[in-house]
Amino acid sequence: MSITLDDIKTALAIIENGEGQEISLRSGDIELNIRRGPPGAAASAVPATVVLPAAAAPAAAVQPPVSAGSSAPPSPTARPLHAPLTGVIYRAPSPDEPPFVEPGAVVGEESVVCIIDVMKVMNLIKAPAAGRIARIDVLDGHLVTKGDVVMWVEPA
């Protein structure tokens, strides 16, 4: 296993959002250390070298988090599901299976509605309330930041 571009993007997002001060990724001979320090601190004191596989996407192809919907709630009673973690969101259990939910789907309070992948750990995310999915505000396979609105549930 090697360090992927997605691993690096997730690590950077975690540090950038203040969810950690230091992250180390290691794969074979490759080690990447990311640290956050006070402004003006000598960041070059710990040089990090990242060697990506030849098939990795170039930096220009990196896409920022994308929202599919607007930030306004779809109705006055709709409850937001906020991303509890920073990571890559997956709306289906695997690429060849249908999404957990679509707009209009009825969910229970314990219904799994998506997965957030944080450093290859798949976290099952449950609905914030029983009801109907009113709107989904994220795109499958994109980076979400802790606190982003993932979807809206209209309570039953």
User: Mean pLDDT, consecutive 10-residue segments, the chain of 156 residues?
Assistant: 76 72 73 67 40 39 42 90 95 95 95 94 94 95 94 94
C-alpha span between 87 and 150 (Å, rounded): 12
Per-residue pLDDT at 61: 33
Could you tell me if 97 and 138 lie in one domain?
yes
Per-residue pLDDT at 127: 94
Could you tell me if 42 and 92 lie in one domain?
no
Per-residue pLDDT at 75: 92
Could you tell me if 56 and 84 lie in one domain?
no
Per-residue pLDDT at 45: 38
Cβ–Cβ under 8 Å, residues 148 and 114: no
Could you tell me if 84 and 56 lie in one domain?
no
- Boundary (domain end) residue, out of 61, 89, 108: 61
Could you tell me if 56 and 101 lie in one domain?
no
| Residue 127 lies in domain | 79-155
